[in-house]
Amino acid sequence: MTRAEKGEQIAELKEKFSNSSFFYLTDSSTLTVEQVNELRGKLYEQNIEMRVVKNTLAQKALEAADTDKGYAGLFEALKGPTAVLFTEVANSPARVIEEFRKTAEKPILKAAYIDSSIYLGDDQLKALAALKSKEELVGEIITLLQSPAKNVISALKSSGSTISGLLKTLEQRGE
C-alpha cells in the first residue's frame, strides 16, 4: 500500500469516526469465509457497516479526529485483527453479535464507543445489548404519558355506567 493510499484510508476513516456516535471494535479473525459472509449479512440487515482495518491506520484516524470525543481510551483495543462496526443504533451490533455467537465463538468485542463512553472488553457485550435505542425510549415515554389519561378515561367510563345503573334502579322502584 502506497503512502498516498494510506493517507486516503486515514482520511476516510477519520470522517467515518467523526460522523459516527456509535462504533464497535471487534475481532472476527478465526471465522470461516462462510461465517463472515453470514455475519456481514446479519449486520447489513440491521444497517451496520463492517470494515476490516489496519490498527495503525485506525489509530492515526482516531488521533486525527476531534480530540473532544476522547478516542484515546480505544487505542489499547487496537491490537490483533480488527473489524470496525459502524452503526446508527447503539445496541444493534451487540445484539447481532450475541445472536451470532450462539453458533460461533467469535466475533469478540474488543471495545465500543457509545456517545463519548468507552466500553472495553468482551464482558461488556451484555450491557451494550441491554442499552435501549432512541426509538425504544421514546416508546416507553409515550406509554408512560398515556397511562394516566387511560386511567382517567377508564374511571369516567366505569363511574358513568355506575351512575346510569343507579338511575335505572331508582326509576324502576318509583314505578
pLDDT in tens, 37-65: 999 999 999 999 999 999 999 999 998 88
Q: pLDDT higher for 36 or 160?
A: 36
Q: Supply 171's cell numbers.
A: 326509576
CA nearest neighbour of 46 among 112, 97, 115: 97
CB 53 within 8 A of CB 84: yes
Q: Where is mean pLDDT largest: 9-18, 134-143, 150-159, 165-174?
A: 9-18
Question: What rounded mean pLDDT belongs to the chain?
Answer: 85
CB atoms within 10 A of CB 49: 15
CB atoms within 10 A of CB 127: 13
CB 157 within 8 A of CB 116: no
Q: pLDDT-derived band of residue 152, with 50, 70 and 90 as boundaries? A: low
Per-residue pLDDT at 155: 61
Judge if pTM exceeds 0.95.
no
**Tens digits of residue pLDDT in 63-104:** 888 777 888 889 999 999 999 999 998 899 999 999 999 998
The CA distance from 36 to 128, in Å, is: 22
Lowest mean pLDDT among 23-27, 86-90, 117-121, 160-164: 160-164
The CA distance from 112 to 22, in Å, is: 7
- What are the φ/ψ torsions at residue 114 (nearest 5 degrees)? -125, 105
